[in-house]
């Protein structure tokens, strides 16, 4: 019990000042299969927020895969520069992919 409370508090402290934001969603459902690269220009959820990290969240992943092939530099500030992210994807016939790019932002850009 005590240990659980410590972990919870620690997580809250670490996440203090961190924001999560879904940047873009993609669907690839070509019955003949397919592959390609999705490019996303990131935008901050608020002012003074800088890019920290990004990940993919799949709502459908059948006989295919996707991975982030290129990330903007850590601390990239969309207000000052272009923060671009690239995702390589591929699925076979009768497969499909539905995913969204979720970026983590942190304050301190101002």
Q: Which one of residues 26, 61, 90, 98 is an interface residue with other proteins (CB under 8 A)?
A: 90
**Per CB under 8 A, does 33 bind other proteins?**
yes
Q: How far is the CB of 98 from other proteins (least distance, A)?
A: 12
**Per CB under 8 A, does 95 bind other proteins?**
yes
Q: How far apart are CA 75 and CA 102, in angstroms?
A: 16
**Per CB under 8 A, does 96 bind other proteins?**
yes
Q: Which residues contact 17 (CB under 8 A, 6 or more apart)?
A: 106, 107, 108
Site string for other proteins, 42-81 (x = CB under 8 A): --------------------xxxx----------------
- Choose between 72 and 96: whose C-beta lies nearer to other proteins: 96
Q: Give the footprint of other proteins on this chain (CB under 8 A).
A: 29-35, 62-65, 90-96
């Amino acid at each position: 019990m005590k240990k659980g409370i410590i972990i919870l508090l620690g997580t809250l402290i670490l996440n203090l000042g961190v924001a999560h934001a879904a940047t873009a969603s993609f669907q690839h459902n070509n019955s003949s299969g397919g592959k390609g690269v999705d490019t996303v220009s990131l935008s901050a959820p608020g002012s003074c927020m800088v890019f920290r990290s990004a990940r993919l969240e799949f709502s459908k992943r059948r006989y295919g895969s996707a991975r982030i092939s290129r990330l903007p530099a850590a601390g990239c500030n969309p207000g000052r520069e272009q923060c671009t992210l690239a995702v390589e994807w591929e699925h076979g016939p009768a497969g499909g992919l539905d995913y969204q790019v979720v970026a983590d932002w942190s304050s301190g850009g101002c």
